[in-house]
Copies of this chain bind each other. A is one copy, B any other.
């Protein structure tokens, strides 16, 4: 299967981290296309930055949906913790679009009862909390712990703060009752592998979970949204959208119309 993996941040070095971990995680028959947001910020920490990123992710999805058949993919992974644009982006195309947070939450929830999230900055935690609550698993969140120092460079966070991240993870287990720890955020991609055995509970990497859970959902071939809240948006007047987005909406709607069951 072919998966499109989108970095909603504009940082090429984070994209590199994502790509490396995605390649390590993907199954043997999975082909990956990795893209970086065309506009936005270096790394997303706030609800507003996430809103901007959601628009950038929509453009990349639309570009693929509207493009030549060779660009068609079987599933899409939105590779920033906090899941910018979710679940709205699921309306846009007929293949699964999955955020790494929701994937990581599922991977954690299947391995324990309560989980903690380890985050790269204090500011980012409010947005993460919203995301967990909107997904519906707020009752299983043991804690969110975060680095409270400023970062040198987003590409080197995991190297610069490895000991801190390890300590935060262990505190989450010992003090907050976490059964599973989620190392959150694309900048931490791959760290879970490196810390293997040093944290006394299962540790979930967002990128790995995103790839594996999306592979699983794609494989299920559950069918399309032709009714309900995730069917393509109804046909109506549009204006001022980018060419790709306009084409993607038009194409989604016509698929919808042609395939709608007679019921």
Point out residues on A near B: beta carbons under 8 Å.
10-11, 25, 27-29, 38-43, 45-52, 54-56, 58, 85, 87-92, 96, 98, 102-103, 106-107, 109-114, 123, 125-127, 130, 133-137, 139-140, 170, 173-174, 177-180, 192, 196-205, 208-209, 212-213, 215-217, 219-231, 233-234, 236-241, 245, 260-261, 263
Contact = CB atoms under 8 A, between A and B. Distances in A.
Contacts of A50: 88
Given A55-B55, A111-B222, A111-B230, 13 more contacts: A41-B238, A46-B88, A47-B229, A51-B58, A51-B89, A107-B216, A113-B126, A133-B139, A179-B225, A199-B223, A203-B222, A212-B217, A213-B213
A174 B231 CA distance: 13
B216 A201 contact: no
Given A137-B136, A201-B228, A212 B208 contact: no
Contacts of A127: 229
A39 B197 contact: no
B216 A212 contact: yes
Name which of A45, A205, A223 has the most chain B CB atoms within 10 A of its CB: A223
5 contacts: A27-B219, A40-B241, A51-B51, A51-B85, A113-B230
A133 B202 CA distance: 23
Nearest to A135: B109
A201 to B, nearest CB: 5
A163 to B, nearest CB: 13
A165 B152 CA distance: 36
Contacts of A46: 88, 91, 229, 233-234
Given A177-B126, A238-B41, A136 B139 contact: yes
A223 B197 contact: yes
Contacts of A90: 111-112
Nearest to A123: B234
